[in-house]
Amino acid sequence: MSLFNVEVMKAEFKNIWSSWLLEISIFIPLFSCLIYNPHLFGIFPYEDVGIAIQEMITARTISVFHSALTFMIVICSAVSAISFARDYEKGLLQTLFSLPLSRTEIFLSKMLSIVLVSSIIVSISLTITLILDFYFAVSYLLKPILIGFLMAFAPLFFYFSLSAFIALIIRKTVASTVISIVLSYMLQALPPALSDINYYMPDKIPIFILCKLLGYRSTPSFHSGYGLPSTLLANAPSIELLLILLVIYSIGMMTVTYTYFIKKMELAE
């Protein structure tokens, strides 16, 4: 028995992404990254000239990654809720359950088709923005782009699982989508002043990990659009603890949703 079913993934992609939603999902994160680009429509400020290119790339990576991930978490949450709730309301889940497919294949195929596309969109926004900014130093861009792509997976897994769980409980498309969007926004909207809490939020942990992996340090002469104070970075937990927390968040929430879908999900009211 395979873990994923290609046909289910194709159908999921066709139902969810092959419409205006895919174009909007690509445009909004990319536009938000470009519109706040301090260097795209002008030359580097004089005081920035002396800063190493690698440091500027790192600072810009943090800014773009945060902006793109913020939008994609909301979009991923909405799409996840729609995928499960709408399929239930339209009877598509009943059809899938009647086919020679395991519930594991159905769940994981849905998950991969949503989370993978969302992560790719984050990566596209990051890649295009960095190339436009640093076309003269493309060789330095592979590492931040690859790490950014990998760091996007875990929080998107978490919010996919959370929204899918909400949809499986409520089973109403509109209500599930609205609640998922509001909840994903509220979890991300904690003020930076609550630093102790921000360290442990599923959407903030990848930012701190990215900072540590890329060696980012806040500098007063370069404003990246996402200024992490040096004191906030200095007091952040170790990268090992952050990685453990990220795994616990993503795997833990996915396990709860998966277990409910496999063992508790009933089609008949």
**Considering the domain boundaries, does residue 118 fall inside one?**
yes
**Considering the domain boundaries, does residue 174 fall inside one?**
yes
Helical segments of the chain, H only: 6-16, 20-35, 53-90, 92-98, 103-133, 142-170, 173-188, 195-198, 205-214, 230-234, 239-259
Is pLDDT at 139 greater than 70 in this prediction? yes
**Considering the domain boundaries, does residue 178 fall inside one?**
yes
**Considering the domain boundaries, does residue 43 fall inside one?**
no
Task: Name the residue among 106, 128, 167 with its Cα closest to residue 29.
Answer: 128
pLDDT at 215: 77
Q: Lowest-confidence range among 22-31, 89-98, 102-111? A: 22-31
In three-state secondary structure terms, 62 is helix
**Considering the domain boundaries, does residue 87 fall inside one?**
yes
What is the end-to-end Cα distance of the chain in Å, rounded? 30
Mean predicted confidence (pLDDT) in 204-231? 63
**Considering the domain boundaries, does residue 42 fall inside one?**
no
DSSP 8-state assignment for residue 39: S
**Considering the domain boundaries, does residue 106 fall inside one?**
yes
CB atoms within 10 A of CB 98: 9
CB atoms within 10 A of CB 43: 8
Asked if 181 contacts 74 with a C-beta cutoff of 8 angstroms, the reply is yes
111: its two tokens = 């998950």
pLDDT over 90 for what percent of the chain?
19
Task: Name the residue among 46, 61, 211, 57 with its Cα closest to residue 134.
Answer: 57
One-letter amino acid of 199 = Y
pLDDT at 255: 93
d(CA 54, CA 26): 27
Please, which residues have CB within 8 angstroms of residue 236's CB and are 6 or more apart in sequence? 199, 208, 211, 212, 242
d(CA 116, CA 122): 10
- Identify which has the larger pLDDT, 262 or 265: 262
Give helix 239-259 / helix 142-170 axis angle, nearest 10°: 30
Enclosing domain of residue 245: 7-36+51-264
**Considering the domain boundaries, does residue 41 fall inside one?**
no
Residue with tokens 């991969």: 112
What φ, ψ does residue 5 adopt, rounded to 5°? -115, 120
Mean predicted confidence (pLDDT) in 116-143? 86
For residue 124, CA distances in Å to 62, 98, 128, 195 come to: 15, 37, 6, 29
Is pLDDT at 126 greater than 50 in this prediction? yes
pLDDT per residue as tens digits for the range 59-73: 888 888 888 888 889
pLDDT at 98: 84
Q: How many domains does the chain have?
A: 1
Per-residue pLDDT band at 47 (split at 50, 70, 90): very low
In three-state secondary structure terms, 265 is coil
